[in-house]
Chain A
Amino acid sequence: MKFLSNLINGISLGSVYAIIALGYTMVYGIARMLNFAHGDVIMVGAYICFFAIYSFNLNPVIGILMAVVVCTVLGVVIEKLAYKPLRQATSLAVLITAIGVSYFLQNMAQLLWSANPKVFPTIINGSIKLFGGELSISRTTIVIVLVCALIVVGLSIFVNHTKMGKAMRACSEDKEAAQLMGINVNKTISMTFAIGSALAAIAGVLMCCAYPNLQPTTGSMPGIKAFTAAVFGGIGSIPGAFIGGILLGVLEILGSAYISTELKDAIVFLALIIVLLVKPTGILGKKIHEKV
């Protein structure tokens, strides 16, 4: 029973990682860049939702919608201002710029909203009891897992069956060829950032529902963990991000329950190294053929 309870907690944590990882993986797949500012977009989303609910007493649903809108705009603006001028530059230059954006968002948040931590209001109440009360699952956990699954299915359908999704896949395969086929590459990349950031907003709200602590650096550690999750599953792959996220969450909780809470990060990262050594492109990653 204890194991089951740990497992469920792990899946809950993993679902949060998975939603963040989806944003990472989409951007990486299309723009081939590691967007380290993604974690901070999550933080912004959570703040927007917090103020909508707590300060303006709005309905949580409206709060979430506002967070999605603001983050989408933010994502597109960041892409236009900071990343677009570097489209032809080395991936390393873009990486450093992304780090700069991440510092910028964190410090901006501190100036705007102060460093004082905020407690995210409870949106979903209560828990479900099973086995005569021995196992209790909070409703928040159930909602997070369901939303995560929904997003994965939705995104898969979008990427595989819509015109925009096909354009994205084309861009991810070969940008120049995609351009020749009449696909507007710039627009596609902007669109990817918009979707990734909208997901970040949802991830931020869900994360704060489960772990209601909000401050300017809230997004950075989950950001790095989710990035690890994306790599775990094979970066660029949507189901991979989902599997990677869940696995990482479960590993983290089981690792701290049965091995050591102090070394839980070491355990997670060690598992990542082992997975990559066995399968160098992650669990569901595509094999890269070297061209001569």
Chain B
Amino acid sequence: MKKVIATLLAAVLAVTCLTACGNGGSKSSAIKIGGQGPLTGNAAIYGLACQRAAQIAVDEINEKAGKTVFELKYEDDQHDVSVAANAYNALTDWGMQIYLGCVTSGPCLVTAPMAANDNIFFLTPSGSTADIVKAGSNVYQMCFADPNQGSASAEYIKKKELGSKIAVIYQSDIDYSMGIYDTFISKAAELGLDVVSESSFVTDAVDFSVQIAAAKDAGADVLYLPIYYQEASLILAQCKNVDYAPVVFGVDGMDGILTLEGFDTSLAEDVMLLTPFSADASDEKTQNFVKKYNELYNETPNQFAADTYDCVYAIYQAVQEGKLDASMSASEMCDKLVEQFNTMTFDGITGTGMSWSEDGYVTKDPKGMIIKDGVYVGLD
């Protein structure tokens, strides 16, 4: 029995080693775009949103039947640093020419140096840690780097005079939240805002009574939440339980709260947030994307999806302007794309007139939104 299993396993191993070698040679007329993100596990919601949005964008571009045709492949990295390296390797085995990066920050920090090393163009939709783009000159971000959002939020609160005492609840074990929190605090000090309570939580937390009590006891009238919408929804519900009703101010991670299945949108009434994307925007591009996403997957796209959609279109624009075609190697493409991204401006659904610095950071304006009767309304 043991021997049977052992030989069987050895055989499987040998076969897979050999079969896995055969790929990579075939040349087609389509440019191969690879992407990866958590498609299973507890962060799957983000990866799946990106995968779906990228697919919609690629299908749209291919339907135009122009010269540029894309082929898309998404691999699962389970939001795990070591699986991320495997997913990247699987993509290069497939012959990836342009890389949409990882969806989450941790995996981005692993694959960005790999892509820099292989000289494959890297544009992450949502990996927001500032360190990612430091991996190489071919690494770009579509979302804001975290520090931007923190200082923008502080300026907004100051400018609009939302309140005099601010409480912050952040998530201490994800870099997204920590990055925003850090810059918010330093900017708030600079602007003379009074931060009366700072408390944190960690992944899998469900009870926020301690943090809410701290904010309430400190008499805070503004509650700043640089966190994702799942936890935000729990915090809003628990605030209501203890009759605490401050002005709630969120960041782009808060987007998606209104479309949470089962969420009582009245809890989010008057919540303000800074986000580059709103699914309710009236422009044609956004409406078209939201409609398609809704038809295909029966849900409203969040900002992860929107950023990925923009990534594909930004690459499309650069490919056309730089006159790239599928016969080029990934490295040749990379050099041309870098040239394009450093100079071009791009209009997408997460902002107009976007441009990239040579460091890889994006410049776009966050929009201030307030939730009224369950929909976003522009703050300005």
A residues adjacent to B (C-beta < 8 A): 2, 5-6, 9, 13, 50, 54, 107, 110, 114-122, 127, 136, 138, 140, 207, 210-217, 221-222, 252-253, 256-257, 261-262, 264-265
Q: Is the CB of B45 within 8 A of A116?
A: yes
Jot down 30 A-B pairs with beta carbons below 8 A, ordered by A.
A2-B213, A2-B217, A9-B207, A9-B209, A13-B207, A115-B42, A115-B44, A116-B260, A117-B45, A117-B261, A119-B263, A119-B264, A120-B262, A121-B262, A127-B241, A127-B242, A127-B243, A136-B242, A140-B241, A213-B233, A214-B262, A217-B41, A217-B42, A252-B207, A253-B207, A256-B210, A261-B205, A261-B210, A262-B172, A264-B202
* Residues on the A chain within 8 Å of B48, using CB: 114-115
Interface residue B204 (Cβ < 8 Å from any Cβ of A): yes
Whole-angstrom distance from the CB of B126 to the nearest CB of chain A?
Answer: 15
Q: Is the CB of B202 within 8 A of A213?
A: no
Whole-angstrom distance from the CB of A202 to the nearest CB of chain B?
Answer: 17
Q: Is the CB of A110 within 8 A of B210?
A: no
Interface residue B211 (Cβ < 8 Å from any Cβ of A): yes
* Residues on the A chain within 8 Å of B205, using CB: 261
Q: Which of A2, A5, A119 has the most CB of B within 10 A?
A: A119
Among A6, A122, A212, A262, which residue has its beta carbon within 8 angstroms of that of B209?
A: A6
Q: Is the CB of B210 within 8 A of A54?
A: no
Interface residue B299 (Cβ < 8 Å from any Cβ of A): yes
Complex Cα–Cα for A225 and B100 (A): 38
Q: Is the CB of A117 within 8 A of B230?
A: yes
Beyond A127-B242, A217-B42, list 8 extra A-B contacts (CB 8 Å): A115-B44, A116-B45, A118-B262, A122-B264, A127-B243, A212-B233, A216-B42, A262-B172
Complex Cα–Cα for A256 and B207 (A): 10
Whole-angstrom distance from the CB of A47 to the nearest CB of chain B?
Answer: 11
Among A118, A127, A207, which residue has its beta carbon within 8 angstroms of that of B261?
A: A118
A-B contacts counted at CB < 8 A amount to 99
**Closest chain A residue to B200, Cβ basis:** A261
Interface string of B253-268 (1 = CB under 8 A from A): 0000000111110000
Interface residue B157 (Cβ < 8 Å from any Cβ of A): no
Interface residue B86 (Cβ < 8 Å from any Cβ of A): no
Complex Cα–Cα for A211 and B208 (A): 9
Whole-angstrom distance from the CB of A141 to the nearest CB of chain B?
Answer: 9
Given known pairs A127-B241, A136-B241, A136-B243, the reply for A261 and B202 (CB within 8 Å) is yes
* Residues on the B chain within 8 Å of A118, using CB: 260-262
Interface residue B40 (Cβ < 8 Å from any Cβ of A): yes
Q: Is the CB of B44 within 8 A of A119?
A: no
Interface residue B234 (Cβ < 8 Å from any Cβ of A): yes
Whole-angstrom distance from the CB of A107 to the nearest CB of chain B?
Answer: 6
Given known pairs A6-B209, A122-B264, A257-B210, the reply for A116 and B299 (CB within 8 Å) is yes
Q: Is the CB of B202 within 8 A of A119?
A: no
* Residues on the B chain within 8 Å of A119, using CB: 233, 260-264
Interface residue B68 (Cβ < 8 Å from any Cβ of A): no
Among A6, A127, A261, which residue has its beta carbon within 8 angstroms of that of B172?
A: A261
Q: Is the CB of B209 within 8 A of A253?
A: yes
* Residues on the B chain within 8 Å of A110, using CB: 40, 44
**Closest chain B residue to A116, Cβ basis:** B45
Q: Is the CB of A261 within 8 A of B261?
A: no
Q: Which of A5, A9, A107, A116 has the most CB of B within 10 A?
A: A116
* Residues on the B chain within 8 Å of A211, using CB: 206-207, 234
* Residues on the B chain within 8 Å of A121, using CB: 262, 264
Complex Cα–Cα for A115 and B48 (A): 8
Complex Cα–Cα for A9 and B241 (A): 12
Whole-angstrom distance from the CB of A209 to the nearest CB of chain B?
Answer: 11
Complex Cα–Cα for A253 and B201 (A): 12
Interface residue B237 (Cβ < 8 Å from any Cβ of A): yes
Q: Is the CB of B200 within 8 A of A262?
A: yes
* Residues on the A chain within 8 Å of B299, using CB: 116
Complex Cα–Cα for A9 and B205 (A): 14
Q: Which of B44, B205, B210 has the most CB of A within 10 A?
A: B210
Among A120, A222, A265, which residue has its beta carbon within 8 angstroms of that of B202?
A: A265
Interface residue B373 (Cβ < 8 Å from any Cβ of A): no
* Residues on the B chain within 8 Å of A13, using CB: 207
Interface string of B299-327 (1 = CB under 8 A from A): 10000000000000000000000000000
